[in-house]
Amino acid sequence: MKLVIKNKNYTKGEIIKILREWTGKTQKEFGKDIHRSENTIQKYESDTINYSMEVLLDILKENGITVTFEKK
């Protein structure tokens, strides 16, 4: 499955939510995979707290997601 994000400025929280929903996991399951609490995932998704690139890479690795950047 391929996820293409175009022409929209997503917040960091929206990106995490898209990835989580794409995997079909609850916030609790998603957090458990990367050793974070459900509450932390809620805060990431609502942009209450920021996450690091390391967290994003952990999410991608744990869920077998590859990200490709293309320049227009």
pLDDT at 69: 73
pTM of the model: 0.83
11-21 confidence digits (pLDDT tens):
999 999 999 99
What's the rounded Cα separation, in Å, for the pair 14 and 4? 14
- Given a contact cutoff of 8 angstroms between Cβ atoms, the answer to whether 11 and 47 are in contact is yes
Q: Where are the domains of the chain?
A: 12-62
In the predicted model, is pLDDT for residue 28 greater than 70?
A: yes
31-69 confidence digits (pLDDT tens):
999 999 999 999 999 999 999 999 999 999 999 988 877
Q: How many CA atoms, within 13 angstroms, populate the side-chain half-sphere of residue 12?
A: 13
pLDDT at 49: 97
Classified by CATH at the fold level, domain 12-62 comes out as: 434 Repressor (Amino-terminal Domain) (1.10.260)
